[in-house]
Homo-oligomer: A and B are copies of this chain.
Amino acid sequence: MEKVKIAILGFGNVGTGVWKILQENKKEIMKRSNCQIEVAKILVNDINKKRDIDISKEILTDNIDDIINDESIKIVVELVGGRDEAKQYMIRAMKAKKHIVTANKLVIANWGEELFKIADEENVLFYYEASVAGGIPIIREINESLTANRIEQIIGIINGTTNYILSKMTLEGLSFEQALKEAQEKGYAEADPTSDVEGYDAVYKLAIMASLSFGTKVDHDRIYREGISKISAVDIEYAKKFGYTIKLLAIAKEENNKLELRVHPTLIPSSHPMANVNDAFNAILIKGNAVGELMLYGQGAGDMPTGSAVVGDIISILRNNVKPSELKALNDDADFKEVKKSEENESEFYIRLNVNDRAGVLGDTAKIFGGNNVSITSITQDVVHKEHVLLAFITHKSAEKNINNSLKKIKELENVNEIESIIRIESFN
């Protein structure tokens, strides 16, 4: 049986997971890859740091050159994270004829194209299953399982932190601040939670998935983004009343060669399987013109699930599987497909106003919506104080432009104190 030496760059959470999987499932992995995998080198910052794992110090190095210059190492697993350094390591490794496995969404979303090109030139394989949604094999799904389809939509819960927070708010009635604090205590959210909570993390992952699905470059800066920090317990409660659950969705749709790309909190029907995706779980729904709706659900982060994706990629390389870099450019003609502006998009909306309890305010509001081609499906209202009333609407499918125009006028009504929430609805039609 062939022996293959690999190197791991970075030995944090995921690196440890990869190490554990290679040990624990050695027998299975050997059968499936027909190779004996040996971790020859691990790049770390501090060789002498105390570790929970029993590992020979001779394997550890703090010098990337020890790995790049070692011709016996065939595969480099990049898990250092971050941007520039990781990118440079991968380029150097490929130029030294080493195959790459990476979990780095930042690098793929920013320089995927460039890296795939180098992989082609150097005739090495480049795998990145773990860069999106941890243990869920979404990249392989798009690149290898759904090849018979024209993909029309991808809708995902792809950020575990925000899903944990929204689940706690929904199921236990916590406020956003309480739920965030709990997420931080449990290690689901970072000290500075901006990247997760404001949707940046989801934007990078969506850019990768959309690029593969629609065969086009996707500039992540062009993706509409809205986080969950303004979602209140009141909205969760009202959504429930209307039969919905609030989730942070990443949405990519293609119609007539135009893309719709957005990340924002969304009301989804509570009867949809995605509504039951709770805690730090992820789920991604793909709509293909042959397969219809297909959903994958699983753990989007964590040492072992992400390690599962990384080790799966290593095994794919050893089996000398199809080149993922060849699969990217489905549509060579369109370097960038047109991305619709947010106000061109259409959806149903949930809108909540704080108004004074005066006769006529509902009528005035409804009239403005009607005058802007926005029709209302349901209304509910609750008296909060003596004066203030919460008035919530669900609209039919409307252009965002019409919603915005309505709200501009509604804001000016004498008895409207505030437009407290505007949240899109996804009905999966």
Quick one: CB contact mask for A129-148 with B, threshold 8 Å, 1 for yes? 00000011100110011111
- Cβ-defined partner of A315 (8 Å) among B136, B140, B147, B296: B147
A276 CB within 8 Å of chain B: yes
Verify B147–A290 contact, CB threshold 8 A.
Answer: no
A289 to B302, CA, bound (A): 13
Verify A294–B297 contact, CB threshold 8 A.
Answer: yes
Quick one: CB contact mask for A296-315 with B, threshold 8 Å, 1 for yes? 11110010110111111011
- Cβ-defined partner of A150 (8 Å) among B25, B141, B298, B330: B25
A233 to B17, CA, bound (A): 47
- Cβ-defined partner of A308 (8 Å) among B144, B148, B299, B311: B148
Verify A135–B297 contact, CB threshold 8 A.
Answer: no
Verify A28–B275 contact, CB threshold 8 A.
Answer: no
Quick one: CB contact mask for A106-142 with B, threshold 8 Å, 1 for yes? 0000000000000000000000000000011100110
- Cβ-defined partner of A302 (8 Å) among B272, B292, B294: B292
A322 CB within 8 Å of chain B: yes
A415 CB within 8 Å of chain B: no
Verify B316–A319 contact, CB threshold 8 A.
Answer: no
Verify B298–A292 contact, CB threshold 8 A.
Answer: yes
Stretch of A29-37, A76-84, A158-166, A217-225 contacting B (4+ beta carbons < 8 Å)? A29-37
Whole-angstrom distance between the Cβ of A90 and the nearest chain B Cβ:
21
Verify B33–A147 contact, CB threshold 8 A.
Answer: yes
Interface of A, secondary structure class, is mixed
Whole-angstrom distance between the Cβ of A29 and the nearest chain B Cβ:
7
**Contact sample, A vs B, 29 pairs, CB 8 Å cutoff:** A21-B290, A25-B148, A25-B149, A25-B290, A28-B150, A28-B330, A29-B148, A31-B215, A31-B331, A135-B294, A137-B146, A144-B312, A147-B312, A147-B315, A148-B307, A148-B315, A272-B276, A273-B273, A273-B274, A273-B277, A281-B293, A288-B308, A291-B299, A292-B299, A292-B302, A293-B299, A294-B298, A295-B297, A295-B298
Residues of chain A whose beta carbon lies under 8 Å from any beta carbon of chain B: 17, 21, 24-25, 28-29, 31-33, 135-137, 140-141, 144-150, 215, 271-278, 281, 283, 288-299, 302, 304-305, 307-312, 314-316, 319, 321-322, 327, 329-331
Name 7 extra pairs, CB < 8 A, besides A136-B294, A294-B297.
Answer: A31-B215, A135-B294, A147-B316, A148-B308, A148-B314, A290-B311, A291-B308
Give 5 closest A-B pairs by Cβ, nearest first. Answer: A148-B311, A137-B145, A290-B308, A294-B298, A291-B308
